[in-house]
């Protein structure tokens, strides 16, 4: 009984989570959510994974990475190749595993040297890495060059998407409040100060970077099996920037903010689907305006919960008074 | 050997474009420590402006070039005032993200205005080519090389010999101290953006003449390469940017000539990463201690 009381909140969250899982699945089965909206939902799910994974790198440890699309493409291509010979869920699992492995090696190779660089150099170096990954994929045989891989087996279903996205969110949340996560936040606030307090700056940066890169590979795997086509140009700088927009909009370091922003971006994309340029124009404006007027993003470092909402309202009220 | 020298000549002509764009990066970075991502897009706008001046208003080439330099300079000033000035006190990551936003804004605004179709730059230049000792060289290449050298020398003159240039150097060293000495910091930063953007505009016109086809995406990749050139030579150092630009141009054409065209971009990025790891201050840079 005491145990139940202690974990009441957790249990409540789990029940809520389960209701969403089953509820949406029923809605999809009964075609209340038609296949079009279903694909929008999947898109949001992928964006959630991408958003929280990049947020670990940018929002928590404060390293601006512009090569996230590259790591995503590693996962996407591994999955596409694995599913070609084994078009089942086990093939998908193998693809994710392969993607994680390659992503692990590549991100380690990238992170160890480049993360010694300061902010803006790092951004360019990661951008270069993303481009190099894209060019390598473009020139390999197994990835089928510029035409990419099509007819990938579509194994995506709502439970799969929801479970994977939830796992990604839970993992990143655990990371944020772990020893490493707190060290990462301290690095973002003041690198020299945290170093003098005994934080191994490079190590924490590498861990955060690799963690984000691994999750990006998972998102890529989900992308491959949802949209059943992967092409090198999908994962270029445009992709990295659109993930950046999710992070910036939601808040640097706020994982729930990234989730909200992923939903927002998904919905905006749905409405503006036929206006490609206007959409990109709006995103560019969002990037600039958010940075000028609210550089920490919508939620900043906070997570969405009743206490933060109360804190916000209270704090704002005080500011108005003074 | 002839082929090698030929590649060097081709590399020098495209390298002069990179050098011009790299100068803008270097100047802006030197003064406000910001990688102006939108610089490549200013270069693209410069090319489009020159095309419009030539086809719509029938400007001669030199007038179109001056016009596009003026237009680019104006655009640079506006971008600085609207997007970067409010962020001067905020974190560098925020400024960098804004710069990416501006870059995307310009690219997509141009796509919206001009459409995604590929424009061809009007061929107003009488291009004749000569062959010296088996090496092919054309007027355009010579023109590009000489124009960029002339622009670089005049830039060096402005920075080293004029009052504005002295103000720029002062602000680059210490903003507050310069302001205390009576330097108008805002005006100086605007001038820096104007000068850098004008050079990018000129480079845009040259690329239009050289590659003929133009798209709104034409600025991004050369912009990044020019940035690599600036880092290669030592960011913030004007001769370094020139050297870096020529070096990147030559390396790129050599890789394309002897290796694979597909890998030429990858090589440029690899150079960037290697330079940043081995000598982050660049070839001409002095390694300075970090201030706490």
Q: Which residues of B touch A246 (CB under 8 A)?
A: none
Report how far apart, in Å, the C-alpha atoms of B155 and of each of A131, B36, B53 are.
32, 19, 25
Q: Compute, in degrees rounded to 10, the torsion defined by CA atoms B198, B202, B207, B210.
A: 180
Contacts of B292 in chain A (CB under 8 A): 192
Question: How many whole angstroms separate alpha carbon B64 and alpha carbon B47?
Answer: 10
**Where in chain A are the domains?**
1-33, 38-243
Nearest CB among A58, A131, A248 relative to B265 is that of A131
Nearest by CB to A288, which of B105, B231, B265?
B105
User: Would you call B87 an interface residue with chain A, using a CB distance cutoff of 8 Å?
Assistant: yes
- Answer whether B269 sits within 8 Å of A139, measured CB to CB: no
**Higher local confidence (pLDDT), B167 or B136:** B167
Chain A residues within 8 A (CB-CB) of chain B? 58, 62, 64, 66, 113-114, 116-117, 119-121, 123-125, 127-129, 131-132, 135-136, 138-139, 192, 237, 241, 244, 248, 277-278, 280-281, 283-288, 291-292, 295
Q: Give yes or no for residue B289 having a pLDDT over 50.
A: no
B288 band by pLDDT with thresholds 50, 70 and 90: low
Q: Binning pLDDT at 50, 70 and 90, where does residue B106 land? A: very high
Q: Is the pLDDT of residue A191 over 70?
A: yes
Q: Is A129 in Cβ contact with B92 (below 8 Å)? A: no
Asked if the Cβ–Cβ distance from B97 to A244 is below 8 Å, we say yes
CB contact under 8 A, A131 and B93: no
Q: Cα–Cα distance between B13 and B171 in angstroms, integer?
A: 33
Q: Which of B40, B44, B63, B45 is nearest to B53 (CA)?
A: B63
Give chain A's mean pLDDT.
86
Which residues in chain B have Cβ-Cβ distances shorter than 8 Å to A117? 276, 280
User: Nearest by CB to B109, which of A121, A129, A281?
Assistant: A281
Q: How far is the alpha carbon of B17 from chain A, nearest alpha carbon, in Å?
A: 20
State how far the Cα of A309 lies from the Cα of A58, in Å rounded to an integer: 23
Which B residues 29-68 touch A at CB under 8 Å? 33-35
Cβ within 8 Å, pair A132-B270: yes
pLDDT in tens, B89-102: 877 788 888 998 99
Q: Which chain B residue has its CA at the smallest distance from A129's CA?
A: B269
Q: Identify the pLDDT of residue A316.
A: 56
In this predicted structure, what is the pLDDT of residue A84? 87
Which residue of chain A has the CA closest to B228? A124
Between CA B154 and CA B170 the distance in angstroms is: 19
DSSP A22-38: HHHHHHHHTTSS-HHHH
**A147 or A320, higher pLDDT:** A147
Q: Which residue has the tokens 């355009």?
A: B140
Which among A59, A116, A122, A124 is the top mutation candidate for probing chain B, defined by the most B β-carbons within 10 Å of its own β-carbon? A124
pLDDT tens for A14-42 read 888 888 888 888 888 888 888 888 888 99
pLDDT, residue B290, reads: 44
Between CA B13 and CA A63 the distance in angstroms is 36
Chain B residues near residue A125 by CB distance under 8 angstroms: 272-273, 276
B262 touches chain A (CB under 8 A): yes
Spatial distance between the Cα atoms of B127 and A89, rounded to a whole number of angstroms? 61
**Residues 6 or more apart in contact with residue A181 via CB below 8 angstroms:** A60, A175
pLDDT tens figures, B114-125: 887 888 888 877
Q: Which pLDDT score is estimated for B250?
A: 92
Could you report the per-residue pLDDT of B184-239, keeping only the tens digit for each? 889 999 999 999 999 999 999 988 888 888 888 888 888 888 988 988 888 878 88
Q: What is the pLDDT of residue A321?
A: 40
Assign domain B2-278 one CATH number from 3.30.160, 1.10.3470, 1.20.1510, 3.40.1000.
1.10.3470
- For chain A, say whether B229 makes contact (Cβ under 8 Å): no
The answer to which of A136-150, A248-262, B139-153 has the lowest mean pLDDT is A136-150
CB within 8 Å of B101: residues ≥ 6 apart? A284, A285, A286, A287, A288, A291, B83
pLDDT of residue A143: 82
Do A125 and B273 count as a contact with CB atoms less than 8 A apart? yes
**Each residue of B158-172: pLDDT tens digit?**
988 999 899 988 888
Quick one: tokens of A145?
């060059």
Q: How confident is the model at residue A291 (pLDDT cuts 50, 70, 90)?
A: confident
Chain-wide mean pLDDT for chain B? 86
CA distance A13 to chain B (A): 35
Give the confidence band of B9 by pLDDT, cuts at 50, 70, 90: confident
Q: Once rounded to an integer, what is the mean pLDDT over residues A264-274? A: 84
Query: Which residues on chain B are in Cβ contact (under 8 Å) with A287?
Result: 97-98, 100-101, 104
Answer yes or no: do A292 and B98 touch at CB < 8 A: yes
Q: A213: pLDDT confidence band, cut at 50, 70 and 90?
A: very high
**Considering only alpha carbons, which residue of chain A is nearest residue B29?**
A120
**Residues on chain B touching A119 (C-beta within 8 angstroms):** 92-93, 96
Closest CB to B92 among A113, A119, A281: A119
Tell me whether residues A139 and B262 touch, CB distance under 8 A: yes
Do residue A284 and residue B276 have CB atoms under 8 angstroms apart?
Answer: no
Quick check: A290 pLDDT over 60? yes
Contacts of B117 (CB under 8 A, 6+ apart): none
CA distance B77 to B157: 21
| ipTM, two decimals | 0.81
Q: Say if the Cβ atoms of A287 and B108 lie within 8 Å.
A: no
């Amino acid at each position: 009984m005491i145990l139940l009381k202690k974990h009441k909140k957790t249990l409540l969250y789990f029940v809520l989570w389960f209701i969403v899982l089953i509820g949406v699945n029923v809605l999809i089965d009964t075609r209340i959510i038609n296949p079009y909206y279903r694909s929008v939902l999947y898109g949001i799910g992928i964006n959630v994974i991408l958003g929280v994974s990049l947020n670990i790198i940018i929002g928590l440890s404060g390293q601006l990475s512009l090569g996230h699309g590259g790591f995503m493409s590693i996962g996407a291509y591994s999955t596409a190749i694995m599913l070609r010979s084994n078009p089942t869920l086990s093939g998908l699992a193998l693809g994710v595993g392969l993607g994680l492995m390659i992503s692990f090696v590549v991100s380690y190779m990238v992170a160890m040297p480049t993360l010694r660089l300061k902010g803006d150099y790092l951004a360019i170096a990661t951008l270069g890495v993303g481009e190099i990954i894209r060019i390598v994929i473009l020139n390999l045989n197994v990835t089928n060059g510029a035409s990419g891989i099509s007819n990938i087996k579509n194994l995506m279903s709502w439970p799969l998407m929801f479970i994977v996205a939830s796992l990604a969110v839970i993992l990143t949340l655990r990371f944020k409040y772990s020893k490493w996560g707190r060290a990462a936040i301290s690095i973002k606030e003041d690198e020299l100060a945290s170093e003098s307090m005994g934080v191994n700056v490079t190590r924490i940066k590498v861990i955060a970077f690799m963690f984000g890169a691994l999750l990006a590979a998972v998102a890529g795997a989900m992308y491959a099996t949802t949209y059943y086509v992967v092409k090198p140009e999908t994962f270029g700088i445009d992709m990295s920037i659109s993930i950046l927009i999710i992070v910036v909009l939601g808040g640097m370091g706020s994982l729930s903010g990234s989730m909200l922003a992923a939903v927002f971006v998904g919905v905006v994309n749905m409405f503006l689907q036929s206006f490609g340029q206007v959409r990109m124009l709006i995103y560019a404006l969002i990037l600039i305006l958010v940075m000028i007027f609210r550089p920490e993003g919508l939620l900043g470092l906070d997570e969405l919960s009743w206490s933060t909402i109360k804190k916000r309202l209270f704090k704002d009220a005080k500011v108005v008074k003074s | 050997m002839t082929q090698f020298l030929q590649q060097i000549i081709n590399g020098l002509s495209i390298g002069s474009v990179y050098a011009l764009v790299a100068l803008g990066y270097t100047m802006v970075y030197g003064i406000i420590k910001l990688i102006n991502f939108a610089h490549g897009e200013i270069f693209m706008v410069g090319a489009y402006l020159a095309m419009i001046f030539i086809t719509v208003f029938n400007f001669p080439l030199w007038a179109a070039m001056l016009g596009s330099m003026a237009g680019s300079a104006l655009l640079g000033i506006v971008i600085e005032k609207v997007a970067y000035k409010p962020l001067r006190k905020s974190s560098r990551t925020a400024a960098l993200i804004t710069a990416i936003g501006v870059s995307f804004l310009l690219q997509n605004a141009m796509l919206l205005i001009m459409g995604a179709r590929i424009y061809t730059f009007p061929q107003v230049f009488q291009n004749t080519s000569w062959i010296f000792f088996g090496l092919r060289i054309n007027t355009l290449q010579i023109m590009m090389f000489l124009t960029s050298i002339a622009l670089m020398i005049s830039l060096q003159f402005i920075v080293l010999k004029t009052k504005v240039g002295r103000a720029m150097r002062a602000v680059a060293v210490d903003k507050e101290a310069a302001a205390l000495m009576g330097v108008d910091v805002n005006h100086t930063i605007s001038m820096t953006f104007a000068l850098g953007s004008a050079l990018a505009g000129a480079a845009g016109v040259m690329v239009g003449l050289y590659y003929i086809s133009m798209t709104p995406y034409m600025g991004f990749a050369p912009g990044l390469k020019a940035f690599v050139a600036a880092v290669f030579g030592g960011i913030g150092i004007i001769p370094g940017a020139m050297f870096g630009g020529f070096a990147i141009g030559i390396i790129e054409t050599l890789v394309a000539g002897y290796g694979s065209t597909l890998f030429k971009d990858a090589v440029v990025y690899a150079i960037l990463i290697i330079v940043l790891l081995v000598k982050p201050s660049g070839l001409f840079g002095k390694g300075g201690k970090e201030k706490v």
